[in-house]
Structures are given as C-alpha cells and as structure tokens.
Chain A
Amino acid sequence: MNAVVLRRPVILVLLCAVALLAVLAVRTFVAEVEAGRVVRLLDDEGTDYLDIVNISEETIPRYEKAIGLLASASAWDPACARHPSAIADLSARLAGWGETMKTLAQPVREETLNVPELWARADRALKTAIMLEPTNPDHHLARAWLLASTDAAEQAKELERSVRLYPINAPLRYDVAFQYLVAGNQHEALEHARALARNDDSYLIPDSGIQFVRQQRSAWYRARLSTSYLSNALEIAWRCGIQTPDALKAMVPDIPEAQDALSFFLEQKGLQ
C-alpha cells in the first residue's frame, strides 16, 4: 500500500511530462498542416508542376490568405523560424511587386496593397526569425536585402553577421559581395569577391579526371568553370574596376581549374 502511495506523485509527474510532450507534438502537427495548405493555395494551377502563382490584382487575396495561414502556423508553433521567414518572403514579394507597378505608372490601390505596411511586416517577421534562429545566416541575408534601399548601415551589419556565421559558403559570400556592389560599396564588394575566389571549391574536378578533362577543353568544362562562383567573383571584381590580367590573376588560387577559369574569363572579356 505504502509503495503505491509513494509511487503516485512519480506517476503523476510522468503523466504530466507525457501530456506536455503530446501537446507540443499536436501543436507542431497543426502548424505543419496550416503551413502545408499554403503550398496548395499558392500553386499555379495552369502548370503541371508545383510552383508559385504570379502576383496580380486577382491573386493578391490568395497571397494575403497564405500569409494569414502562416501567421496561424506561427501561433501554433511559435518556436519555429520557418513560418515567420516565409511570411517575410511573401510580404516582400508583394511589396516589391507593388513598387514595380508604381514605377510602371500603374499603382495598385492602397486598400488592395499597402506597400509600406508590407515592408514593415516583412521586417518584423525577419526579426522574429532571427530571434528564433540567430545562427541561421539566411535570415540575416534576407533582412539585408530588405534594408538595401532604406538603411545602408543596418544592411551592412546584417551582411557582416551572415558572413561571420558561415564564412566559407560560396553562395552566401557571392550574395554579400553582390549586395555591396548594388549598394555602391565597391571596396567591400571587392573584399568579399576576393574571399569568394579564395574559398570556392565547388568547381573542382576529381584528381583522376582532371588531366583528361583539361586536355579535352569540352563545352561542359568551359560551362562548369564559367558559371562557377569563382567566375562570379571575377565578374564582381571586374565591375569594381579590377580589369587588368595581372590584378585578376592575383585573386585566383594557383590550381589548374582556377587558372583555366581565369583564362576563360579573360577570353570572354577580350583580354586573351
């Protein structure tokens, strides 16, 4: 009898823990269902594959509903950064479209699309995503894009944060260099282009095949090197005023594929 009495609190605590875990699991499941509905809602039914419908005055309500669903998903699972990140993405797409229409002298009515509010919502959502996942560089990069036309100092801070979180990553480094270039900060753009040229190893070819592939100089090899992040880095440097073969050569690692990428790049620019 005593043993049963002693065990009762333990069983109670265990039951509470199981119930808590079950509630958490249910909440995550409901959030996933809500977020999953967005995929069907925004799919372009005119195509066979899964894609996102173009923004127009007719499809704006679908986008708004999708953002509502994501907000609901975020409320069910407030610890998940994916939902606020998606809200930011959709809001920024709508705001960007609204601004483009304004530029084309076909502004959308404010009742239909409130562009300043959409930018503000995107920023709020990204701040939430960053708070939830401070080590995810993608959130910082997305916020940097958002701040590009309004706050250059804060944009630079976000870019530096994203690079600090993942310094070796070539797509991220390219994005950072490109954002600085677009912002007119050639010094930083060049610094990051140099780092990108140094770090990128995605175009390398296995040792056993390198001799053969280099001798053949096939279209595949040329395309692989010309579309590499190393070539993108050279292009950014070119746009920053580095236009002599020697200066470009100084950026490139001393390995066969990198030297070939440089030679293709110089050919393309008419310098070789």
Chain B
Amino acid sequence: MAAPFAVLGLLLVLMIIIAGWDQIAERFEQLAEDRSLRRADVWMDSLRMLRDFPFLGTGLGTFGSIYSRYQTHSSTSLFDHAHNDYVELMTDTGLIGFLAAAALAVVFLVMIIRQWRTRHRTYVKALGAGGIASCASLLFHGMTDFNFHIPANAMLWTMIAGTTYAVVFNVGRSREAG
C-alpha cells in the first residue's frame, strides 16, 4: 500500500521540479548575485550575537534593535529579522529557549507521525498527511525566512497543527465515546 504512494509522491516531486526548473534556477542565480541580501552573512553575524548572549539570548523580538551592532555587510540595508527562524529564535531566547522550543516541536511531530502511521481510515490518513506536510513545509521554509515572526503565519501554523492533532488522535470522537 505504501510503495505506490511513495512512487506517486516521487513522480509528483519530479514533475514539479521539471516544470518549474527555469524559475528555480533563475532565482538561485539572482540570489548568488544579490549583494544586498546574503542570508549566510546575516546568519554568521547573528551567531556572533549568540556568542555574547549564549544562554538567555537578547530577548524575544529584540533582533532588529540589537543586530545592527553586529552587522558586517550591506552598508545601506537594515535587517529586522535574521531570515532564518531558528537562528533568530536562538539569538532571541538563547540556547535554553531554542532547545526548549526544538524539543517541543520534535516531540509534537514525532507523536503525530507515530499516531498517524497507526491509523487506517483514508479520511484520517489524507487529512493527517496534509497537516503534517503543511507543518513541515513551513518549518522548512523557516530555514531561509521569518515566517514564524509574522503573526498571521504563526497563527495559521498553530491552527493547522491543532487540527492535525485533533484528526490524528481523534480528539472529538474519544471525548464523545468517553
């Protein structure tokens, strides 16, 4: 049952890559030449912030106020965010906050995926897969952007995560049953 789905998924990914490769390649070329926004430079500078505030960070939402002291490139650009949610979480809350948030996310995802694998109803399988993919895609996108620092996106992620949990663990039905 799993093998045909895996093949289908692989085919889908291949089709998307082939159909949109030109745009993807063009975007990567632009990024390579864009001297005004080199994300890797921002991350390296941010890590210098972490060296100065390793355990508790600089405080939630303070990246824009502190980063300018550590910036070493782009002399006319101001950065409000690190363009990487994980790096910004680390500089804002330090290693303690980062590890706590990472542990929470890992436990949540592992729990959901484990439970999802035990379910058999097509409805739960499909909705659960959609929810897990949505959560994972935003987490992946967070590696090069600041999605979780945009309240609408963070709220949407929370809603999707909550819905996925409810579907996979059959929350409503178990209460009715109880």
Residues of chain A at the chain B interface (Cβ within 8 Å): 133, 135-137, 164-171, 173, 199-202, 204, 206-208, 229
Contact between B68 and A202, CB atoms less than 8 A apart: no
Contacting residues, chain A, for B33 (C-beta < 8 A): 206-208
Contact between A169 and B73, CB atoms less than 8 A apart: no
Q: Could you list some 14 contacts between A and B, CB below 8 A?
A: A135-B65, A136-B65, A164-B69, A165-B68, A166-B69, A168-B72, A169-B68, A169-B71, A170-B75, A201-B74, A201-B75, A204-B35, A208-B33, A229-B76
Q: From the candidates A164, A208, A229, name the one contacting B75 in the complex (CB within 8 A).
A: A229
Interface of A, secondary structure class, is loop
Contacting residues, chain A, for B78 (C-beta < 8 A): 169
Render B60-94 as a binary contact track against A, CB cut-off 8 A, 1 for contact.
00000110110111111010000000000000000
A16 CB to closest chain B CB (Å) equals: 23
Known: A201-B75, A229-B75. A166 touches B68 (CB 8 A): yes
Q: From the candidates B35, B69, B74, name the one contacting A165 in the complex (CB within 8 A).
A: B69
A79 CB to closest chain B CB (Å) equals: 14
Known: A135-B65, A135-B66, A202-B76. A166 touches B71 (CB 8 A): yes
Contacting residues, chain A, for B66 (C-beta < 8 A): 135
Closest to A135 in B: B65
User: Given known contacts A168-B71, A201-B74, what 5 new A-B pairs fall within 8 Å (CB)?
Assistant: A167-B69, A168-B73, A170-B75, A206-B34, A208-B33
